[in-house]
Amino acid sequence: MSGNKTRIQAINNIMNRAQKICKPTDPLSKIWAIDVFNLSTMEDSLSKSSFKSIKKTVQTGEPLDPQTANSVAAAMKEWAIGKGAKFFSHLFYPMTNITAEKHDGFIVTNSDGRAITEFTGSLLIKGEPDGSSFPNGSLRMTSAARGYTAWDPTSPAFVMHTPNGATLMIPSVFMSWTGEALDKKIPLLRSNSAMDKAANRVLSLMGEEDIAPLSSSCGAEQEYFLIDENFANARPDLLLAGRTLFGAPSAKGQQFDDHYFAAIPERVQVFMQDFEDKLYRLGIPAKTHHNEVAPGQFEIAPYFEAANVAADHQQLMMTLLKSTAKAHGFTCLLHEKPFAGVNGSGKHVNWSIGNSTQGNLLDPGKTPHENLNFLLFCGAVVRGVHLFGPMLRAAIASSANDHRLGANEAPPAILSVYLGEQLESVFDDIKKGKLLEKAKGGVMDLGISQILNFDRDPGDRNRTSPFAFTGNRFEFRAVGSSQSVSGPIVAMNTMLADSLTWIADKLEVALKDGTDKTTAVIIVLKELVELHGNVIFGGDGYSKEWHEEAVKDRGLKNIPTTADALPAYKERSVVDLFSKTGVLSEVELASRFEVYAEQYVQSIEVEAKLVIDIATTKIYPAAIQHISGITSTSSSLKEYGVDLENSGVKTAVTEANAMMAAVKELSAAVAKDDFASIEEHMNYCAQTICNMMLNVRTHADTLEGIIADELWPLPKYHEMLFIK
């Protein structure tokens, strides 16, 4: 039993765990945003003139004067110290998909040695972490280390409470000494400005007045797995790679769909309440939570927010998911495919565009055929996805997401747009040069008197589409669960800015000729649909027929791996897109390609080394112990009529030897380092290393079904997924 000691101990620890009780918590009205230095808090803390100035900056992007920054800093310090904070941190988002922090104390000493607290406007505005040690894609050499963080006043500061104390967190941008963006926030803010400028131009041409600043908004549905920490600690692959590199399927997986929207397990419910209370204290509007389709999988979805704030909140949500899970004896897995054979996790990004005067410009209203602004903005999205589908695929590319995309659980790696029956019909009419009234969804009448009738939506939803219109927004369903939402939003904002500029140019020409607005919109959209309508698809995105039609008949690209996707960042059209919109310079975009390519290679190589280590030091010894145990008692077994030829011993020997031969082959492949380019290295990882790892796993998973249960060294799928 010695080979299985860790696994058995993990199960015993779980079974003997004292269950936490779900205690009553304070009402939402009492805890909502209590730890956030938002406009409401500022109004109570600042002079009228200072508050008016900072409010303009937050709501309209007006520059902030230094005196106001000093006033805000003083008020922020007193507020944070009142909550127990002794440190402040500029919070920033390097190109790693995680959050970075640099903590500084409020403390300074005066001439007589007494300690006092200090926090000036200059300290609030600027910090200085190392600019070379973070991934930067050769923008900074190791010897050129200076980097800056700068306060983003449009995303509110907050106090983070941990068992070790409280810290004032200040959302910030991160740049090099020479001014290049080293983070995910600067491009996001730039992309929103580019979109705002182009959208304002279109709305002005449509006769709109009093146009408030436009912003993209985001509501990201976060999926995740919870497993007991005892199991995670017994799996080196989960600890270091975030996914199981070995594991035979459980007899029961998700085939009964009995986990989906089922009653939430009590232990998980306690975790969720604790987690969401923390979110509410930080002003993060968690709205929905439920069991997802795979056993052990769950989802939480926040309400819509401005994209910049939503991106910051998403990063914070992932951090809190992990820390809160740990406090409850769980490990939270955000990997896109932690378990083979059951659904992986995504982060569906619901995205729309709007402002305080014109409202949501992706809301068709009850008569979409009459809503010209909506049709123009919807058409702009269609054009953007068609022209820059490969760029969108690159924005959600990672080794982890490659395991999920294209399977019968997630959108295919072909970027298409689903509009729904009603909207698709509208654009078909536009292609014919006309706008016709469309039927509404009708009334849902079940013929049961106790059930009230209600209006049915005019179109169904399509979960097989990677980019689907869902009533008043688009849902980018292909985003991975562990990814920052900033990259996808940057891609969407930027492609939209380009398409709106194209539309504005066409509208100007049409309107100058004296054409009325409705006719001008039809003329512009007719050309748009003729050029880009191939990307609209309402059928089954998982089907083999669609894959063939998309590539052969429609000219769309199927981009299955990150190695295939990332080179889109080097295409001239994409470089020009980011340059002319001012979102990313050519060197900034090139740095991102280099960083993401390097991360892809490194993640695959880490997994390969783990496969070699686990197979060699855990699985092979268990196989030898199993084989030895049976063969050492072979004489006794024969006396009882046991047929050793068919007892599994021969298969175990064959599979163990085959596994180690595959390990040897993989070891040699990982040692290869003579690559002419990073593209060649990525393709080698995708086509060679990944297949070799799968070969090792195939033999190991077969052994799991043969080796005596008490000898198997790794927690099994049925244990991790079902024991809570």
**442-489 per-position pLDDT tens digit:** 666 657 766 666 566 666 677 889 999 998 999 999 999 999 999 999
| Bridge partners of residue 263, in order along the sequence | none
Query: Among the ranges 61-70, 337-346, 403-412, which has the highest mean pLDDT value?
Result: 337-346
Task: With beta carbons less than 8 A apart as the criterion, state whether 332 and 322 touch.
Answer: yes
Residue 100: strand, helix, or coil: strand
Residue 585 lies in a domain: no
At 460, the amino acid letter reads D
**666-704 per-position pLDDT tens digit:** 999 999 999 999 999 999 999 999 999 999 999 999 999
Residue 74 lies in a domain: yes
Residues 6+ apart with CB under 8 A from 82: none
At 37, the amino acid letter reads F
Distance between alpha carbon 618 and the CA centroid of its chain, in Å? Answer: 33
Residue 49 lies in a domain: yes
- The per-residue pLDDT for 452 is 65
Average pLDDT, stretch 189-212? Answer: 96
Q: Which of 624, 628, 620, 704 is nearest to 664 (CA)?
A: 620
Would you tell me how many other CB atoms lie within 10 Å of the CB of residue 330?
23
Average pLDDT, stretch 282-304? Answer: 93
Q: Which of 428, 432, 441 is nearest to 471 (CA)?
A: 441
* Residue 416: DSSP 8-state: -
C-alpha distances (whole Å) from 502 to each of 140, 332, 371, 535 are 36, 44, 20, 18
C-alpha distances (whole Å) from 481 to each of 361, 384, 462, 466 are 27, 24, 20, 14
Residue 394 lies in a domain: no
Check which CATH number belongs to the domain holding 137 and give it: 3.10.20.70
- Cα-based angle 348, 351, 355 (whole degrees, multiple of 5): 155
Distance between alpha carbon 695 and the CA centroid of its chain, in Å? Answer: 29
Task: With beta carbons less than 8 A apart as the criterion, state whether 555 and 390 touch.
Answer: no
At 226, the amino acid letter reads L
| Bridge partners of residue 148, in order along the sequence | 175
Q: What percent of the chain has pLDDT over 70?
A: 90
- The per-residue pLDDT for 616 is 98
Task: With beta carbons less than 8 A apart as the criterion, state whether 441 and 455 touch.
Answer: yes
- The per-residue pLDDT for 441 is 64
Q: Measured in Å, how far apart are the chain's first and last C-alpha atoms? A: 24
More confident residue, 721 or 444: 721
Average pLDDT, stretch 94-110? Answer: 83
C-alpha distances (whole Å) from 184 to each of 174, 219, 319, 400, 589 are 8, 18, 17, 19, 12
| pLDDT higher than threshold 80 for residue 618 | yes
Q: Which of 542, 527, 392, 403 is nearest to 465 (CA)?
A: 542
Average pLDDT, stretch 225-252? Answer: 96
- The per-residue pLDDT for 123 is 87
Average pLDDT, stretch 489-497? Answer: 98
Taking the C-alpha atoms of residue 475 and residue 218, their distance in angstroms, rounded to an integer, is 10
Q: State the burial class of residue 177 (Cβ atoms within 10 Å of its Cβ: 0-12, 13-18, 19+).
A: middle
At 245, the amino acid letter reads L
| CA dihedral (37, 38, 43, 46) positive or negative | positive
More confident residue, 632 or 165: 165
Taking the C-alpha atoms of residue 222 and residue 224, their distance in angstroms, rounded to an integer, is 7
| pLDDT higher than threshold 70 for residue 359 | yes
Query: DSSP per residue over 217-276, as a string?
Result: EEEEEEEEEEEEHHHHHT-HHHHHHSS-S--PPPSSSSTT--STT-PPPHHHHHHHHHHH
| CA dihedral (24, 27, 28, 32) positive or negative | negative
C-alpha distances (whole Å) from 688 to each of 400, 402, 571 are 17, 15, 25
| pLDDT higher than threshold 70 for residue 328 | yes
Residue located via tokens 């182009």:
198
Average pLDDT, stretch 149-173? Answer: 93
- The per-residue pLDDT for 576 is 98
Taking the C-alpha atoms of residue 713 and residue 701, their distance in angstroms, rounded to an integer, is 12
- Cα-based angle 652, 667, 657 (whole degrees, multiple of 5): 15
- The per-residue pLDDT for 1 is 42
For the record, the structure tokens of 404 come out as 């999920």
| Bridge partners of residue 170, in order along the sequence | 90
For the record, the structure tokens of 644 come out as 């050793």
CA dihedral 664, 666, 668, 674 (to 10 degrees): 180
Residue located via tokens 């997924």:
721
For the record, the structure tokens of 461 come out as 């939803």
Average pLDDT, stretch 658-662? Answer: 98
Average pLDDT, stretch 97-126? Answer: 79
Residue 122 lies in a domain: yes
| pLDDT higher than threshold 80 for residue 131 | no
Q: Which of 81, 168, 93 is nearest to 129 (CA)?
A: 93
Residue 85 lies in a domain: yes
| pLDDT higher than threshold 80 for residue 440 | no
Average pLDDT, stretch 65-91? Answer: 92
* Residue ranges making up the domain that contains 78: 32-183
Residues 6+ apart with CB under 8 A from 110: 116
Per the structure, the count of domains in the chain is: 1
Claim: this prediction has a pTM higher than 0.75: yes
| pLDDT higher than threshold 90 for residue 520 | yes
Average pLDDT, stretch 423-430? Answer: 89
* Residue 563: DSSP 8-state: H
Would you tell me how many other CB atoms lie within 10 Å of the CB of residue 433?
11
Residue 92 lies in a domain: yes
- What are the two backbone dihedrals, phi and then psi, of residue 249, each rounded to the nearest 5 degrees? -60, 145
Taking the C-alpha atoms of residue 353 and residue 494, their distance in angstroms, rounded to an integer, is 12
Taking the C-alpha atoms of residue 199 and residue 205, their distance in angstroms, rounded to an integer, is 10
Of 12-16, 87-91, 102-106, the least confident: 12-16
Taking the C-alpha atoms of residue 412 and residue 390, their distance in angstroms, rounded to an integer, is 13
Taking the C-alpha atoms of residue 11 and residue 2, their distance in angstroms, rounded to an integer, is 15
Residue 513 lies in a domain: no
Taking the C-alpha atoms of residue 159 and residue 415, their distance in angstroms, rounded to an integer, is 40
